[in-house]
Structure 1
Amino acid sequence: MPFGGITIGGDFRRILPVIPLGSRGDVVSACITISRLWQQSKVLLLFRNMRLNQSQSSAEAEGFKLFAEWVLKIGNGDSQPCKDSLLVYEEDNIVILPDFFDPETKNYVQNMIQWTYPDFISMYKSPIYLSERAILTPTNHVVGHLNSVIVDTIPGDESTYYSVDRAEDFGGTASELSFAFPPEYLNSINIPGLPPHELKLKQGVAFMLMRNLNQTLGLCNGTMMMITRCLKQCVECEVICGAFVGTKHFIPRMELCPTEMKLPFNLIRKQMPLQIFYSMTINKSQGQSLERVGLYLPNPVFTHGQLYVAFSRVTSPAGLKIFIDSKDGESTNVTKNFVYKEIFYNLPT
C-alpha cells in the first residue's frame, strides 16, 4: 500500500518542494499530486483552523473567523486588489489589510525589533518569551543581518568563532586546488544549511541546532538552546525547550558538508552547528505556532505559499504586523503573492 496505509498530513497552500534554480514547471512536477501514487490516495479534508481556536468571546471569535478566511484567500490566490482603486497594480499584487499595516511607522530595523520583541533586554533569557515570537523574512541574507543587530543589543562581551574551510573532490591536482580555491574564497561562501564562517556569540544568545548530535540526550536538529558560557574552542549551552529542559551540553566545532550544492567541489566547513533564531526565514518557520510575528519584506516573496505560511503562523490576528518596502524604499501595503493554482487541479473542492 502507498505509504504503508498510514495517514499523512499536508497543505498544498504551503511551500512546495524546493527545487534549486527550478522553474515553476519543475516545482509543480515534483509534487505528489502529479505522481501515480496520488490516484490511489484517499483525501481527507480539514475545516477548522486549530491555531485560531482560542477566542475568549463571540466578538473575538468572529474576528478570528474573518482573519482565517482572509488567510485562506491568500493561500488560494483569490485575494485581489480593489478594482475601484485609482492605483494601478501589477499581476499577483495584493493589498494588506489596515489591521496589519501601520503607514505611520517606518520600516526601521529597530521598530521591527521593538514591536516583535518588546522589553527584550529584560526578557531575553526567558524561554517562553523567545519561543512565542519571531521576525520572518524570505531570504537568509536579511535573516543574518537582523540576528546580528539583535545579538548586539544583548549585554555582555562578544566572542567570535571562525570556521576552517577546505575543498574536496576536485578534479585537478593538489596545487591547482590551492590556487583555484583559496581560503578567503571558501570563507566567503554562505550556503543554506551551513553556519557562517564568522559566528559572533554572547552569553544569553538563543539558537537552534542545525544537526542531530545525540538524540538520546535531546540534541536534535531544531532543538532550542541558550549559551551559558563562551569558551575558547566550544560553547556551553542549556536546552530551553522539550523534554530535556535545563540540561547543559558543550557544543564543539565539527565538520559539516552541505548535501545539495552547485559548486564543482565539496565544501567542508568545520564550525559549530548553530543558527540564531530571533529572525528566521519563512521556509524555516513552517510547522511553528507563534503568538507574535513581525513579517519583514524588503523584497517580495519569490515562490508559491510563502506569504500564506507567514500569515498563518500566528495564533491571533493581533499578533501579526507586516513591514513591506516598496521599490523606492518607502513603506507600502502592497506586495506580491505567488500561487501556482495548477497545484489544486487534482484536489477535491
Structure 2
Amino acid sequence: MAAWTGIAATLLTNGKTIHIIFKSPVPLTENSVCNEPPNSEHAIELRFIQAFIAGEASMIPSCALNVINRCLKDIMTKSSNCSPALPAAIIDACIKRSHLWHQFHHLRLTRNMRVDVNVQEFSNSLGNGSLNSVLQDVPLHNVDVPTASCYQTSLIPKNFKNRTPEEMEKRVTLSPKNSDCLTINEKVLNIIPVALKTYLTMDSVFCNNEEEVQNYPFEFINPLTPSSMPLHCLNSKVEAIIMLLRNFSISPGLCNGTRMKVQRLHGHCVEASLVTGSNRGRTFLIPRTKLIPSDCKYSSHTKQTSVSISTCVFNDN
C-alpha cells in the first residue's frame, strides 16, 4: 500500500509514500529518474510484487506515473508493452492525461449528486447562510448548529486557555487563509505561560547571473512565505503543538502534517513528541533543514531554517 503524501501513508498499515517505494526525486518532472538500481535488493523485491495499490490517485501527477513506469521497466526482466509518450505539458498534468490511463480498469459511479441542481443550490445557500429562503422544499432548520456549539465569545480562550497539555493535544483550529493562521497562532502562543523562543531562517538566492542576486535584498526575501515553508521569524514555546512541514521518516510517523508537542527548544533543533498515531508519546529531534520551494517565482529562493515546522493552526485548503 502506498500514498502520495506522507500524512496519508501513516493511515495505512505499513504504508509508505510513492517517493520512498520507488526512490523518486523531489520535486518530480517528466525527465526525472528514480534512484533504484535494477539489481538492488529492493528492486528484486519490487520485481515480485503482483500489484501496487496507491491511495490519493487523483493527486498523483501524470509525470509521476511515467517516472514509475520507466523505473519498473528497468527493474523487470521483460519490458512491458507500454508505448512511450511525449513529455506532458503542465495543462495535461492530471492522471487521466497520462499515456498509461488506458491500462487502468475504470470503476464508475452511477450517479453524480454534485451535478444535481438542487444539491448545488443547497450547498451554495448553506454556505452563504440563506438556506431557508432559497430552497422551498427544504424543511426549516434542516441544517442547524446546536445551541451548545454556538459561542458569543472568542473561541481561542475557550479552546486553549487554562487547558492541560493533554487537552491541548486534542484541539485544532481550521482556517481558510494563511494570514488568519498566523494571527491565531500568535494568540494561542501568548496563552501558554512559558518563555518564547524565536528561530530565524537564513535565506539565500541562487541565480545564473550573480549580478541578478543584488535585485533580491533580504528585506524582500525574508517576508516571502511560499507554500509549505516556515516563516522567517518562527516563534514557539514548550508545550506548544506544532506541525511538521517535511517528510522525515514515514515508519515512525514523521511526515508532512504530523502534529507534535514541543518538549525542549534547543539552539539548532526542536525536541518534540508525537501526539497521534501508534508512536504517540515518542520523542524526536527536528533538525535544521535546507528547504527549497518548488512554487516560488523568484529565481531559486532557499530557506535554511532551524526547524521545518509550523505552529498550532491548520490551513484548510
TM-score for both structures, normalised by structure 1:
0.52
Q: Out of 220, 226, 230, which is 1:185 matched to?
A: 220
SS in 1 for 2:278: coil
Q: Is the 8 A contact 1:161 1:198 kept in 2?
A: yes
**Counterpart in 2 of 1:112?**
155
1:99 partner letter:
V
Aligned to 2:204: 166
**Cα distance, 1:198 vs. partner?**
0.5
Change (3 A) 1:83 1:241: closer
Partner Cα separation in structure 2 for residue 182 and residue 96 of structure 1: 56
The partner residue of 2:285 within 247, 250, 255 is: 250
Q: Indicate which of 88, 96, 99 corresponds to 2:145.
A: 99
Contact 1:16 1:27 in 2 (8 A): no
Q: Which runs of 5+ in 2 are unaligned?
A: 1-49, 62-88, 135-140
For 1:251, the aligned partner's letter is: I
Between Structure 1 and Structure 2, whose CA radius of gyration is higher?
A: 2
What residue in structure 2 maps to residue 153 of structure 1? 191
2:196 is aligned with what amino acid? E
Q: 1:269 aligns with which of 284, 304, 309?
A: 304
Q: Spell out the pairing of 1:196-215 with structure 2 (5 A cutoff).
A: 196-215=231-250
Match of 1:77 in 2: 120
Render the CA deviation track for 1:255-292: whole Å, top value 9, x for unaligned.
1111222112333333310111x321113xxxxxxxxx
Call closer, same or farther: CA 1:213–1:160 in 2, change over 3 Å: same
Q: Report how far residue 210 of structure 1 moved.
A: 1.4
Task: Name 2:262's counterpart in structure 1.
Answer: 227
Q: CA RMSD in A?
A: 4.3
Taking structure 1 as reference, are residues 16 and 98 closer, same or farther at Cα in structure 2, changes over 3 Å only? farther
**Partner Cα separation in structure 2 for residue 85 and residue 257 of structure 1:** 49
Amino acid at match of 2:315: T
The 1:16–1:173 alpha-carbon spacing in structure 2 relative to 1, beyond 3 Å, is: closer
Aligned to 1:279: 313
One-letter code of the match for 1:121? N
Paired residue total: 229
SS of the aligned residue for 2:154 comes to helix
For the residues of structure 2 that align with 1:246 and 1:173, how far apart are their CA atoms? 47
What's the counterpart of residue 163 of structure 2?
A: 122
Deviation at 1:180, TM superposition (A): 1.5
1:163 & 1:83 partners in 2: Cα distance?
A: 47
Q: 1:44 to 1:8 in 2, by over 3 A?
A: farther
SS of structure 1 residue aligned to 2:195: coil
Q: 1:95-137: CA deviations, max 9, x gaps?
A: 99442799x856xxx623245x2x64223x11xx455442222
Residues 1:231 and 1:271: Cα distance change in structure 2 (over 3 Å): closer
1:11 CA displacement: 9.7
- Counterparts in 2 of 1:243 and 1:16: CA distance versus 1, 3 Å: closer
Counterparts in 2 of 1:11 and 1:263: CA distance versus 1, 3 Å = same
Deviations 1:57-91 (A, max 9, x none): xxxxxxxxxxxxx99989963415479849xxxxx
Residue 319 (structure 1) aligns with: none
Structure 2 Cα separation of the partners of residues 244 and 16 of structure 1: 28
The answer (yes or no) to whether the contact 2:169–2:261 under 8 Å persists in 1 is no
Q: Aligned to 1:208, what secondary structure does the other structure show?
A: strand
Post-superposition offset of 1:157: 0.9
Query: How far, CA to CA, are the matches of 2:209 and 2:105 in structure 1?
Result: 53
Percent pairwise identity: 24
Considering fraction of residues, name the structure with more strand: 1
